[in-house]
Amino acid sequence: MPSRAAVAAPPAGDRLVRVAERLLRMIGDARTGLVLLLLAGVANALAALLPDGPARIDGLPYAILLGAVALTGVAAVAVRSPTVWREWRRPTPVQAGAGTLRLLAAAATPDEVERSLQAAGYRVRREERRGRWAVHGVRRGWSRFAGLVSHLALVVIVLGAAIGAAFGSETVFSLLRGDQALLDTPRSGFASAVRLERLDAEFGTDARPLRLDTTVTFLRDGQPVRDAVLRVNEPGEFDGYLVHPWTYGPAVRLRVTTLGGSPLLDAAVPLDETRDGVPVGGAELPTAGVTLGLALTDADRNELGVSVVGAGGLVDTARLVPGEATRVGDLRVELNGFDAWVTFMSRRDPGLLILFGGAVGLCAALAVAFWLPRRRVTARPSGGGLELLLRGERFDRPADELERVGRILGARE
């Protein structure tokens, strides 16, 4: 004969359901979601501040964190949706207590109360029991669905970020005037490119840039498609890629020959490094067995310092201004002028529109929830009159709404 404990024990399936329900409610709890969002915010802040920060959010831990944020959003919707639907379709009683406003109105019949509340925009339900009655109403009950939409919007934002991380790309490259480069890693069939035409810069008296206009030509299959002027915070878009001018710097146009006139170099050389606050660069001359060291020694005069370094060390130095040519060691160096180089960042993010769509949905849902909050009311007889109990959301104290409903029903105090 089975023991009383064995008879009273619930089936294993019921226990599993209760455990799953408790777990779902814990995951969907707003406090859990808030903690996870704060952790994600801290991770993104560190990624923005630390030199190697971006690499830290490309790993598995950050992906798990984003997945947990999405899971809390889905769980919150699953937990709250049935209750929100029931409260909207069948208004529930408002209980007296903290956050509930109370008002006495003139006595009225249940039919009169129903008609008045319906005229005030409430969905109503009459409840009668043992000779007593009450009318419960809800106004803008659908606005609570906006709160659920905000949870789903977070899921969409996470999805957009995940798609961008998984399928997006980011390429950084530097170009001199007239140079071109592909917008992404070279692969078969990919031929979207950009060519640098010129950089127009203007600076104020404090040396801060007033204008940095980068003129480029976008190409497809080697053929120009269109020109564009890229500015700070105004990237160009081409074939699904956003192209940003990222950094820039000076370059020098040099012609280098042997003393016999044999050409060794005729091109622009970027001064893409800085030493003691001075832009510097260099060029290898393998056929001559030396290296040219270049430095912008005087920016006001556009004076260029040139040094020739061989296997045994420094060979010779000289200084030039545009249009000059001089002998440096066994080389003849001619400075034809100054130019500029620009570093571009090309980014393709297929999840960007999804992410922005989620952000717009989140803002819209929060606007509805805060500006059009749900209101609940219960009207019931009390001491020869009518007692009104009205309640808003936690962030809302709808005193004006209570006065409006009271006027409709004939408030007496």
- Give the pLDDT confidence score for residue 2 in this predicted structure: 52
The pLDDT tens digits of the residues spanning 116-163 come to 999 889 999 999 988 889 999 999 988 888 888 888 888 898 888 888
Residue 11 has pLDDT above 70, yes or no: no
The Cβ-side half-sphere exposure at 15, using a 13 Å CA radius, reads: 5
Residue 87 has pLDDT above 60, yes or no: yes
Q: In whole numbers, what is the pLDDT of the chain averaged over residues?
A: 86
The pLDDT tens digits of the residues spanning 223-277 come to 999 999 998 888 999 999 999 998 888 899 999 999 988 999 998 999 988 888 8
- Give the pLDDT confidence score for residue 13 in this predicted structure: 65
Q: What are phi and psi of 185, to 5 degrees?
A: -60, 130
Residue 387 has pLDDT above 70, yes or no: yes
The pLDDT tens digits of the residues spanning 276-290 come to 888 999 999 998 899
- Give the pLDDT confidence score for residue 10 in this predicted structure: 60
User: Which single residue is written with the structure tokens 């071109």?
Assistant: 180
Confidence grade of residue 411 (pLDDT, cut at 50, 70, 90): low
325 or 69, greater pLDDT: 325
Bridge-based pairing of strands 241-258 and 263-270 is: antiparallel
65 or 197, greater pLDDT: 197
The pLDDT tens digits of the residues spanning 187-204 come to 888 999 999 999 887 777
Give 108's contacts (C-beta < 8 A, 6+ positions apart).
Answer: 116, 379, 386, 409, 410
The pLDDT tens digits of the residues spanning 308-318 come to 998 888 999 99
- Give the pLDDT confidence score for residue 412 in this predicted structure: 45
Calculate mean pLDDT across residues 377-385. 88
- Give the pLDDT confidence score for residue 379 in this predicted structure: 92
Dmax of the chain from CA atoms?
119
- Give the pLDDT confidence score for residue 9 in this predicted structure: 56
Calculate mean pLDDT across residues 64-75. 84
Residue 293 has pLDDT above 90, yes or no: yes
Phi/psi-derived region of residue 369, left when phi > 0, alpha when psi is between -120 and 50, beta in every other case: alpha
- Give the pLDDT confidence score for residue 206 in this predicted structure: 65
> How many CB atoms lie under 10 A from the CB of residue 327?
11
- Give the pLDDT confidence score for residue 25 in this predicted structure: 81
- Give the pLDDT confidence score for residue 55 in this predicted structure: 66
